[in-house]
Structure 1
Amino acid sequence: MAKKKKIDEQALADAYNRALSLEKSGQFTEAAEAYRKVLALDPDDHGGAAVRLASMGLGDTPPKAPDAYVATLFDQHAEAFESILVDQLEYCVPMLTRQRIQALGLGPFKKMLDLGCGTGLTGGALRDIVEDITGLDISENMVEIAHEKDLYETLYVSEAADYLEDNEDGPFDLVTATDVLPYLGFLEELFFGVADNMTAGGYFIFSSETLPEDTLQGRDFMVGPHQRFAHASAYVARALDGAGFDVIEMIDITVRLEDGAPIAGHLVTAKRRAE
C-alpha cells in the first residue's frame, strides 16, 4: 500500500488563510484557484475547500461534505458547541422533534438511534420516552462530551453511512438525524441505510435546510452560502419513498440563525413501510 504523503501543515494553513481572505474580500476567481491549491496540499480536505468552491459556484457540488472536514469542524468546536448553537444561533430542533412526537401521539419507543448525536441535545430531549438510545457522531470530541452526560446506553465515533452498513445493534423503532443533512447532498445512501436498520412501522425524524425555488433552480440539492447543503423538499420526499418510507409530515421550521437571519428548513417525520 502506498504511504500517504505527509501534509505540510504550515504551507496548508498559509494556503487556506490566503484562500479564505480572497473569498471574504469578494475575489472569488482568485479564491477558487487558491482553494484548488489547498486541495492539492490536502486531498482529504480537512478545511472543506470543496464545499467552499461549490458554495461560490466555482466548483462541482460534492455528494457530501468531506468526512475529514466535518470531523475537524466539530472537534474544534466541541467545547463551545452548545453555547454557540443554542444560545447564539437559537437552534431548537431537538425540542421541536419532541414536540412533533407528542403532537402526533407517537411513542414511547424501545430502541432509538441518534445519528449525528453531537453533544447529546436530541438524546437529552427524548431520553424519557425511549428505553435504549444508541448515539453516534463523526467527531470524537463531541462523543466524549455526550458520554459525560450519561444519556446513551451505547455511543460510537463513526460516519453515519458506515455505521448503518455494519450495524448489529438494531433494529430501531426510532431514528433521528437532527442537523445531519446539511452535511450531505446525496440522500439515498443514508435513507436506505436507515431503512435497513429499522423495524417496520418505525419512525425516522430528521431536519433539513432548504433554499427558495429560484435559488435551487430545479436542483435536488446545492451548497448554500454558508457552506451547508440545502435540499429541495420534493427530492427529500422522493428519496424517502424510494427507500421505503411514507412521509407523515414535513413542516417548515427555522433551523437556526446565521448572521442574525433565520435559516429555513424542514422537520420531517417518516414511517417505515412494511415489506
Structure 2
Amino acid sequence: MTGKQQKIDEEALAEAYNRALAHEKAGEIDAAVAAYQEVLGLDPEDHGGAAVRLASLGRGETPPKAPDAYVETLFDQHAEAFEDILVEQLGYAVPMIVRQRLQSLNLGPFKRLLDLGCGTGLTGAALRDMVEDSTGIDISENMVEIAHEKEIYETLYVAEVEDFLEDNDDDAFDLITATDVLPYLGALEPLFFGAAENLAPGGIFVFSSETLPDDVLAGRTYMVGPHQRFAHAESYVKERLEATGFEILEVTDINVRLQDGNPTPGHLVVAKLKA
C-alpha cells in the first residue's frame, strides 16, 4: 500500500488484504469476499484492487474500470522490473505486432503519435522511426521516469488516460496507440470517444484487448477475468468503435501474453477515424 492517504490504518489494511488473499487461495470464497469488503471500507480509493478481485470472484458489481489508485500503485511498484517481467517472462510482443500490422496495411509514416498507457516506452520504441513526434501518457510516475530516461518521446505526461483525453487541447494526432490498456478498463465508451476527439480525420487508432471464450463471457460485453484483468467481447469492441465514428480496418487474433504458462487470447485492432 502506498500510504498516500495518511488516514488509512495501514496495519489493519494489510492484515485484511492478506487474510482475503489467503481465503481466496484456500477456496473460501465467502470469507474472501467479506475480507475484501473490509479492505474497501478501510481504503475506499482501493490501492489494492479489491473491487476487481471481487468481480473476478463473480461477486459484487463489475466496475467500469480498475480503480486509478490500484493501477498507479501496481505499475509504480513494478516499474523497475516491468520490462523483464512482461517481455522476458510473459512473452509480451504486442508493440512489435502493432508495427507489423501498420506496415502490412501500408499505414504511415505518421506525424504525431499519442501512446496511451505508454509505460516504459515499449510501443513508442517500436514505432519510433515511423513517427515524427511522440507523446506518451501513463498514470505511473515511476514508469514515465523510465520512459523519459530512454528519450523515446518528445513529450511525456503523468495522467490517467481517460482524463487526459478529455482535457487535452493540443494539436490533433494522426496515430493513437493503446497497448495493454484495455485490460484495466471495462466500459470502452470514454476511451473510444476520447480517442476520436484527439485524432485528426482519417487518423489511426490501434489497440490490444484481451478476451475470453463465449461460454465464459456468457453474453456479457466485458468482465473481470480470473487474473483481475478485464476481458472484452469482440462484438462489443467492434460495435463501440463503429458507434464512435471509426471504420475498422483489421481485427487480428493474437496471444497477448503468457499467464501461468498459458497463452492469453486477445485482439489487435486497427481502426480509422472517418473523415
Cα offset, 1:169, TM superposition: 2.1
What is the match of residue 175 of structure 2?
A: 174
What is the match of residue 56 of structure 1?
A: 57
Q: How does 1:118-137 map to 2 (within 5 A)?
A: 118-137=119-138
How high is the TM-score relative to the length of structure 2?
A: 0.98
What is the match of residue 200 of structure 2?
A: 199
2:39 and 2:119 map into 1 onto residues whose CA distance is: 28
1:211 and 1:93 map into 2 onto residues whose CA distance is: 18
% identical equivalent positions? 70
- For the residue of structure 2 that corresponds to 1:199, the secondary structure is strand
1:146 and 1:245 map into 2 onto residues whose CA distance is: 30
Q: How does 1:178-257 map to 2 (within 5 A)?
A: 178-257=179-258
1:148 and 1:240 map into 2 onto residues whose CA distance is: 35
Cα offset, 1:261, TM superposition: 0.4
What is the match of residue 148 of structure 2?
A: 147
1:73 and 1:19 map into 2 onto residues whose CA distance is: 18
- Identify which range, 252-261 or 168-177, moves more after superposition: 168-177
What is the match of residue 34 of structure 2?
A: 33
1:170 and 1:212 map into 2 onto residues whose CA distance is: 40
Cα offset, 1:137, TM superposition: 0.2
Cα offset, 1:242, TM superposition: 1.1
Cα offset, 1:5, TM superposition: 7.2
What is the match of residue 271 of structure 2?
A: 270
Cα offset, 1:159, TM superposition: 0.3
2:76 and 2:224 map into 1 onto residues whose CA distance is: 22
2:201 and 2:38 map into 1 onto residues whose CA distance is: 48
1:65 and 1:170 map into 2 onto residues whose CA distance is: 29
What is the match of residue 94 of structure 1?
A: 95
Structure 1 residue runs without a partner (length 5+): none
- For the residue of structure 1 that corresponds to 2:256, the secondary structure is strand
1:155 and 1:248 map into 2 onto residues whose CA distance is: 29
Cα offset, 1:166, TM superposition: 1.1
1:5 and 1:132 map into 2 onto residues whose CA distance is: 40
What is the match of residue 46 of structure 1?
A: 47
2:25 and 2:104 map into 1 onto residues whose CA distance is: 44
2:252 and 2:130 map into 1 onto residues whose CA distance is: 22
1:197-246 deviation line (CA, Å, top 9, x unaligned): 00010000000000000000110000000000000000000110111101
1:127 and 1:5 map into 2 onto residues whose CA distance is: 41
What is the match of residue 67 of structure 1?
A: 68
- For the residue of structure 2 that corresponds to 1:94, the secondary structure is helix
1:179 and 1:170 map into 2 onto residues whose CA distance is: 25
2:171 and 2:161 map into 1 onto residues whose CA distance is: 14
- For the residue of structure 2 that corresponds to 1:186, the secondary structure is coil
Cα offset, 1:17, TM superposition: 0.5
- For the residue of structure 2 that corresponds to 1:267, the secondary structure is strand
What is the match of residue 19 of structure 1?
A: 20
2:69 and 2:186 map into 1 onto residues whose CA distance is: 16
1:113 and 1:58 map into 2 onto residues whose CA distance is: 36
2:203 and 2:63 map into 1 onto residues whose CA distance is: 31
Cα offset, 1:168, TM superposition: 2.0
How high is the TM-score relative to the length of structure 1?
A: 0.98
Cα offset, 1:80, TM superposition: 0.2
